[in-house]
Chains A and B, each alone.
Chain A
Amino acid sequence: MSSEVILEAIDVIKHFPTGARGLLQRTTGTVKAVDGVSLQIYTGQTLGIVGESGCGKSTLARVLMRLLEPSAGSVKLQGEDITHIHGQHLRKVRSQMQMVFQDPIASLNPRHSVGEIISTPLKFLEGHHAGSDKARVQELMNLVGLNPEHYNRYPHEFSGGQRQRIGIARAIAVNPKIIVADEPVSALDVSIQAQILNLLEKLQADFGLSYVFIAHDLSVVRHIADQVAVMYLGKIVEIGSPEDVYGITAHPYTKALMSAVPVANPRIAANRHRIVLTGDVPSPVNPPSGCRFRTRCPKAQELCAQDEPLLLDRGHGHPVACHFPD
């Protein structure tokens, strides 16, 4: 990784109190959504975060964007600590990071035309001239592959893939440095997914954007990421280049995850050995002691219950949090 770090998380922890909050009601515990995560995002590159539902990947993304304030640890944008900033300062920092959501329908206001949706973030830019909005919006629509003549149409007149393009146009409108995409293609059909992924890659190449790409689909992340982090119960269990993580997989969880992905080839599918994990993911309110994966791990031993494995390079060329990596 030769390029510089643009966004960095250092020992980030985010806990949520559980139970209804209110008068006369006690909190019954804390959901340890993100529990000590450190990572770096490099300029012009893509960090993919994979994991199953409830692993904390979306919470982590929101902490990175400072939509949430971490319970502990720090977040740095280009070396500047943005962990606890507020108000005007935070707004300014946030304009450098934009989000693309999973559900393009829910994230667009149905009563606003596409032009209004895409131009809204422009209004908060410094030196903004309302007169130039339309030209800029149409330029953006062109960039994301929408017909600029559809400026006055409403979201419901577009297909799912086109709506996601609108979401992307809105995100890049303010020239952000970083885009956090939370499952941007998982609601779309396969043929459309490919279109959107290609678009994201093109925009990255053209504008030098950095991406944080969150997905549960390992193949999507493999395709788009320069760096892959695998999360389980609020922690990163393995991190590295896609070649490393997918090729020299070291953590048993990553292995199980990969073997669970169906292969679109019936001849391979029939013959391969699959690791089927038993049971469910434990509750993040009460994670297992030691290694969090040990309750479902085929290789778990006594040590795993006592000592929490640190995220270290254990001779694989990339960090793994496991006492007995492959």
Chain B
Amino acid sequence: MIAYVTRRILFAGVLLLVVSLFTFLLFALLPTDPAALTCGKACTPERIEANRVRLGYDKPVTTQYWLFLKGVFAGRTYGEGQGEFTCPAPSLGYSFSEKDCVTTLIGRTLPVTASIAAGGFALWMIVGIGLGMVSALKRGRWPDRAISIFSVIGLSFPTFFLALLLLFIFVIWTQILPFPSYVAPQDDFIGWCKALILPWCTIAIISAPSYIRLTRFGMLETMNEDYVRLGIAKGLKRSVVLRKYVLRSALIPIVTVAGLDFGITLGGAVFTESVFSLPGMGKLSIRAVIDSDLPVLVATTLVAAVFIIVFNLLVDLFYGFVDPRVRVRT
């Protein structure tokens, strides 16, 4: 088991390195000149050249990548003399448009995205699995039909449209909720909830339907398994069979999908953040795309990749933990 975990972690590390290399190369090979974007209209060729040297864009791509990697672990100092400044480790570069170290920007936006993702995730899992169970247990009867109609509606709404609709109903029309404005949960927990309830609902309504279907399908599938029939044949109560026999195996595959989905959402809920004007990573990425802010783009892409890889790893380890068949094979 320990060997298995070590191997998986090592593998995740290698994967991260590969992803970082690809991301870096991808953006480095773009036809845009990163140095030209470091100053606005008041640019002169001399200033551009100076900035190019300061940020290391004059060096070959491989050296740039090496400096980038070194920066992640050791921090990075740009320029020398008067213009010298340092982005401490882990440094992901410097954004000229924001005039700040990229790590600082990520540090500022990540809590917002994490808050949105965590709450949305919790809500969609509860709604998705809960309704999925009801749907499976009442198969073919009216609760099942009602839930499937809800699923279809949820699946067919574009995120931005749903977000706008919720915003209109609860903020502009009925004015039940204030316009979302992010506060840290440790400062004002109620305010945090109030600001994020609509984004959470948006994400939940969009994501829950696939979980309803997965749960319903998984449960119906498992209920036909011989071992579930054997459980009933033993004389166990239906509730016990449901808990010990059906739910466990029906939910395990869902965890795989959920882990990955959560990782993806953590990388930035682009539409949700934009509509509700929440300063998260998604919004940061959008801004970076519009401004061609390469260091930020590389960084947000990388951070998103890290989340996906990490959650993928966690899911795999979880499998090894709950499924004896995986446990022994390793």
A and B touch in the complex (CB under 8 A): yes
Q: Which residue of B lies closest to A26 (CB)?
A: B7
Q: List residues of chain A with CB within 8 A of the CB of B7.
A: 24-25
Which 4 A/B pairs are nearest by Cβ-Cβ distance?
A: A24-B11, A24-B7, A23-B11, A24-B10
A-B contact pairs, 8 of them (CB 8 A): A20-B329, A23-B11, A23-B14, A24-B7, A24-B10, A24-B11, A24-B14, A25-B7
Smallest CB separation, A22 vs chain B (Å)? 9
The A/B interface has a contact count, at CB < 8 Å, of: 8
State the Cβ distance, B182 to closest chain A Cβ, in Å.
Answer: 41
Q: Which of A4-47 contact B (CB under 8 A)?
A: 20, 23-25
Taken together as a complex, chains A and B put the C-alpha atoms of A25 and B7 apart, in Å, by: 8
Distance, CA A23 to CA B7, complexed state (A): 10
In Å, the complex CA distance between A23 and B14 comes to 10
Chain B residues, Cβ within 8 Å of A24: 7, 10-11, 14
Q: Which residue of B lies closest to A25 (CB)?
A: B7
Within the complex, the shortest CB–CB distance from B186 to chain A, in Å, comes to 41
Q: A24-B7, A24-B10, A24-B14 given. 5 additional CB < 8 A pairs?
A: A20-B329, A23-B11, A23-B14, A24-B11, A25-B7
> CA of A314 to CA of B10 in the docked complex: distance in angstroms?
58
> Which A residues lie within 8 Å of B329 (CB)?
20
Q: What is the CA–CA distance of A25 and B316 in the complex, to the nearest angstrom? A: 15
Shortest B66–chain A CB gap in Å is: 24
For this complex, into which size category does the number of interface residues on chain A fall? under 10
Give the distance to chain B from A309, nearest Cβ to Cβ, in Å: 35
List chain B residues, Cβ under 8 A from A25: 7
CB distance from A226 to the nearest CB of B (A): 40
A25 to B330 alpha-carbon distance, docked (Å) = 10
Number of interface residues of B (CB under 8 A): 5
CB of A317 to closest CB in B, whole Å: 47
Closest-by-CB residue of B relative to A22 is B11
B111 to chain A, nearest CB (A): 34
Taking CB atoms and an 8 Å cut-off, the chain B residues in 1-56 that contact chain A are 7, 10-11, 14
Residues of B contacting A23 with CB < 8 Å? 11, 14
Q: Map CB proximity to A onto B92-124 as digits: 1 under 8 Å, 0 otherwise.
A: 000000000000000000000000000000000
Complex CA–CA separation, A24 to B10 (angstroms): 9
Residue of A whose beta carbon sits closest to that of B15: A23
User: Considering only CB atoms, which chain A residue lies closest to B329 in the complex?
Assistant: A20
Whole-angstrom CA separation of A20 from B11 in the bound complex: 14
Residue numbers in B under 8 Å from A20 (CB-CB) = 329
Question: Which residues 167-212 of B have a CB within 8 angstroms of A?
Answer: none
| Complex Cα–Cα for A20 and B329 (A) | 9
A260 to B14, CA, bound (A): 55
Q: Give the distance to chain A from B212, nearest Cβ to Cβ, in Å.
A: 27
CB-CB nearest in chain A for B7:
A24
**Could you tell me the distance between the alpha carbons of A20 and B14 in the complex, rounded to whole angstroms?**
19
> Cβ of B10: which chain A residues have Cβ within 8 Å of it?
24
Complexed CA–CA distance, A23 and B329 (Å): 16
Q: How far is the CB of A31 from chain B (nearest CB, A)?
A: 14
Bound state CA distance, A24 and B7, in angstroms?
7
CB distance from A325 to the nearest CB of B (A): 40
For A23, give the chain B residue with the smallest CB separation: B11
**Chain A residue at smallest Cβ distance from B330:** A20
Closest to B10 in A: A24
A20 and chain B: residue at smallest CB distance? B329
Within 8 A of A (CB), among B207-263: none
* A 121-165 contacts with B by CB, 8 A: none
Chain B 290-330: CB-based contact to A (< 8 A → 1; otherwise 0) = 00000000000000000000000000000000000000010
Q: How far is the CB of B310 from the nearest CB of chain A, in Å?
A: 18
The docked-state distance in angstroms from the alpha carbon of A199 to that of B329 is 45
Please encode chain B, from 152 to 165, with 1 for each CB lying within 8 Å of some chain A CB and 0 for all others.
Answer: 00000000000000
* A24 vs B6: C-alpha distance when bound (angstroms): 11
Docked CA distance A240–B122 (Å): 67
Minimum C-beta distance from A168 to chain B (A): 32
Distance from A17 Cβ to chain B, minimum over Cβ atoms (Å): 14
Q: Report A183 CB to chain B, min CB distance, Å.
A: 22
Residues on A with C-beta less than 8 A from B11 are 23-24
B16 nearest CB across to chain A (Å): 14
For the complex, give the distance between the alpha carbons of A20 and B10 in Å.
17
The 0/1 profile, CB within 8 Å of B marked 1, for residues 83-110 of chain A is 0000000000000000000000000000
> How near does chain A come to B172, taking the closest CB pair, in angstroms?
50
A129 vs B229: C-alpha distance in the bound complex, in angstroms? Answer: 54
With A and B bound together, what is the CA distance between A25 and B329 in angstroms?
12
Cα A321 to Cα B250 in complex, Å, equals 49
Closest residue of chain A to B4 (Cβ to Cβ) is A25
Rounded to whole Å, the gap between the CB of A285 and the closest CB of chain B is: 13
- Closest chain A residue to B11, Cβ basis: A24
Instruction: For the complex, give the distance between the alpha carbons of A25 and B14 in Å.
Output: 14
